[in-house]
Amino acid sequence: MTFHHSMSFKQIVLVGQETQRALLLLTEEGRIYSLVVNETQLDQPRSYTVQLALRKMSHCLPHLRVACMASNQSSTLYITDQGGVYFEVHTPGVYRDLFGTLQAFDPLDQQMPLALSLPAKILFCALGYNHLGLVDEFGRIFMQGNNRYGQLGTGDKMDRGEPTQVHYLQRPIALWCGLNHSLVLSQGSDFSKELLGCGCGAGGRLPGWPKGSASFVKLHVKVPLCACSLCSTRECLYMLSSHDIEHHPAYRDLPASRVLGTPEPDPGSIAPQDPGGTAQACEEYLSQIHSCPTLQDRMEKMKEIVGWMPLMAAQKDFFWEALDMLQRAAGGVGQGPPTPES
């Protein structure tokens, strides 16, 4: 496939089914063009000409420059150079999964971009089949959409019709949303890198967690020091390892007035008693552990909770390794499953 020499593209993605695939091309000027490709006919020995058309995102909003885009079979996500987010959703089922309603869905105008309301500038995104992830300029991660397998990492399996912050994760290097799981590449204070995942663990999608997890947990994967990008399918996990001195997420520090859970300063008080509701969160964790029927279940729950807590990478590794040792020791004592009293 060749293009006119005046056309210069910075990103190319596919959207749509195999017989009616659209190739979306993002130019250096931030405009989006599309052309329709029937992949079932590409193996035939013939040549033909197709017409490039300006996508509705650029036609209806010519003042916006698109910085990057993400796509799947039935939707496309655009991020502008100002950090705004716009959506194209082409099927009612995916629209309902993402937004929890069909109120604004127009089956006759599926390319009309829909704006997402967000509190800050978005730097990059990930788009799964029926869920998505966004990372803003402060390094906060927001998830939205179907949560049947816990792929949003919110600790439950409730769908979210609007962006919901994952409070215990921040400043990721990369984010990936798959069919029914999500991955985050993060870096510790000692510059070591680790891979966290949530959602469905079938087929090895979450190494070390075959039963899956509704919260992001550390996966049993050795991550290269220069890993910078992720891609995951049902059976395979890919990490791109490279180093570019000009490319790194430039996160800003979140102003104190916008930190969730930070109380207003009181002239008569010295310090807040429970910043961020830490004590309340720990009480909830203990309640979840107490509700587990066996010692092994309590160990597994404790591993999940360690993944939720805002600890350093070395501290999480210590707790996970210690819990593994205790779990192995407990599994070799006595006959049958341990009781809660043990």
* pLDDT tens digits for range 140-151: 999 999 999 999
In DSSP terms, which residues pair with 308 in a beta bridge? Answer: none
User: Does 272 have pLDDT greater than 60?
Assistant: no
Which two tokens mark 241? Answer: 């390892």
In DSSP terms, which residues pair with 195 in a beta bridge? Answer: 185
- Return all residues near 209 (Cβ < 8 A) that are at least 6 apart: 197, 201, 217, 219
SS3 category, 333: coil
Is 171 within 8 Å of 251 (Cβ atoms)?
Answer: yes
- Please tell me the predicted confidence (pLDDT) of residue 274: 45
Which ranges constitute the DSSP H helices of 55-132?
56-60, 92-99
Q: How confident is the model at residue 340 (pLDDT cuts 50, 70, 90)?
A: very low
Summary mean pLDDT of the chain: 82
Strand order across the beta sheet in which 160-170 lies? 122-127, 131-136, 140-145, 160-170
Which amino acid belongs to residue 53? A
Find the mean pLDDT for residues 331-342: 46
The C-alpha atoms of residue 38 and residue 19 are separated, in whole angstroms, by 5
User: How far, in Å, are 143, 222, 245, 340 from residue 81 at the CA level?
Assistant: 21, 34, 21, 54
**Phi, psi (rounded to 5 degrees) for 177:** -115, 120
Strand ranges, E, within the chain: 9-15, 21-27, 32-37, 53-54, 66-71, 75-80, 85-89, 114-116, 122-127, 131-136, 140-145, 160-170, 174-177, 181-187, 193-199, 213-218, 227-232, 237-241
Instruction: Give the number of other Cβ atoms within 10 Å of residue 8's Cβ.
Output: 10
- Please tell me the predicted confidence (pLDDT) of residue 48: 67
Give the lowest-confidence range in 20-24, 198-202, 216-220. 20-24
- Return all residues near 306 (Cβ < 8 A) that are at least 6 apart: 316, 319, 320, 323
Closest residue by Cα to residue 149 from 209, 88, 73, 104: 209
Straight-line distance from the first to the last Cα atom of the chain, in angstroms, rounded to the nearest whole number:
67
User: Does 342 have pLDDT greater than 50?
Assistant: no
Please indicate whether residue 258 or residue 13 has the higher confidence score (pLDDT). Answer: 13
Which two tokens mark 149? Answer: 């397998």
What digits encode the pLDDT tens for the residues 221-237?
A: 999 988 989 999 888 89
Find the mean pLDDT for residues 30-55: 80
Closest residue by Cα to residue 168 from 18, 304, 333, 321: 304
Which ranges constitute the DSSP H helices of the chain?
56-60, 92-99, 278-290, 295-308, 313-331
What digits encode the pLDDT tens for the residues 164-215?
A: 999 988 899 999 999 899 999 998 877 889 999 999 999 889 999 999 999 9
Q: How confident is the model at residue 115 (pLDDT cuts 50, 70, 90)?
A: confident
Find the mean pLDDT for residues 103-109: 77
Q: How confident is the model at residue 334 (pLDDT cuts 50, 70, 90)?
A: very low
What's the half-sphere exposure (Cβ side, CA atoms, 13 Å) at 110? 13
- Please tell me the predicted confidence (pLDDT) of residue 249: 62
What digits encode the pLDDT tens for the residues 284-300?
A: 778 788 888 888 888 88
User: Does 4 have pLDDT greater than 80?
Assistant: no
pTM over 0.85: no
User: Does 239 have pLDDT greater than 70?
Assistant: yes
Residue by residue, what is the 3-state secondary structure of 261-284?
CCCCCCCCCCCCCCHHHHHHHHHH
Closest residue by Cα to residue 78 from 152, 132, 38, 39: 132
- Please tell me the predicted confidence (pLDDT) of residue 185: 94
Is 67 within 8 Å of 73 (Cβ atoms)?
Answer: no
Q: How confident is the model at residue 101 (pLDDT cuts 50, 70, 90)?
A: confident
Which two tokens mark 19? Answer: 């017989």
Find the mean pLDDT for residues 123-145: 93
- Please tell me the predicted confidence (pLDDT) of residue 166: 93
Give the lowest-confidence range in 57-61, 292-296, 315-319. 315-319
